[in-house]
Structure 1
């Protein structure tokens, strides 16, 4: 029973690693593709690479394929990846920070209070 439980646990871990690798590689493809039509072609090629090994059964073979895929992903990482402007590291991140405590901003735009 423990042999099958450890087998199932290892297969679940491998499936998770493959899922993470695919998502990372797909997001990395967006950094290299300038236009969407280029991205769609590259994403389709990437999916074909993953689907080619979908029916592999040996645990050691799967581990080797995952390690090779991770190594290839790290080799082709973009040197200047796209960052959403308002995310940490983006060009708009903390561009307009909140005012320090004690400073009050009045938004009456020149209207005076009439008593």
Structure 2
């Protein structure tokens, strides 16, 4: 095996490992969206881990690519239609509810009133 093909093989395997890791994390987080109670989530998470562990021994890069494609298709099919979003995260109900004041303005509180003094802009 030449040095070029070895480097290409190692790079392809590294990319596949990263795809599997990302897919597992997304699927695990989505499993939490489907679980009503935490004890149900633990069972589902264990089943998900077992599904990933079944193909841990596969070495053929083409077979791995096919397995990744099948797993992504299955994930997209069973993805939660209304996932939980932390309120202050992008897409959450409180995201940018109280945006920070515009830069360049100073706020002075005096006797319960707010005075705004803009910076001198040159």
TM-score of the aligned structures, taking structure 1 as reference length? 0.85
Instruction: Please state if 1:80 is matched with 2:82.
Output: yes
Instruction: Please state if 1:90 is matched with 2:92.
Output: yes
Q: List gaps (5 residues or longer) in structure 2.
A: 114-122
Instruction: Please state if 1:7 is matched with 2:9.
Output: yes
Distance in 1, matches of 2:105 and 2:64, equals 60
Partner of 1:106: 109
Task: After TM superposition, give the deviation of residue 98 of structure 1 in Å.
Answer: 3.6
Distance in 2, matches of 1:98 and 1:73, equals 37
- Spell out, residue by residue over 1:20-55, the C-alpha distance to the aligned partner (whole angstroms, 9 max, x if none): 110110011111111111111100000000000000
Within the candidate set 31, 37, 40, 1:38 is matched to: 40
Which protein, 1 or 2, shows the higher relative CO under an 8 Å CA cutoff with sep ≥ 6? 1
The structure-2 alpha-carbon separation of the partners of 1:98 and 1:108, relative to structure 1 and needing over 3 Å to count, comes to farther
Distance in 1, matches of 2:5 and 2:56, equals 23
Count of aligned residue pairs for this structure pair: 110
Structure 1 or 2: larger strand share? Answer: 2
TM-score of the aligned structures, taking structure 2 as reference length? 0.81
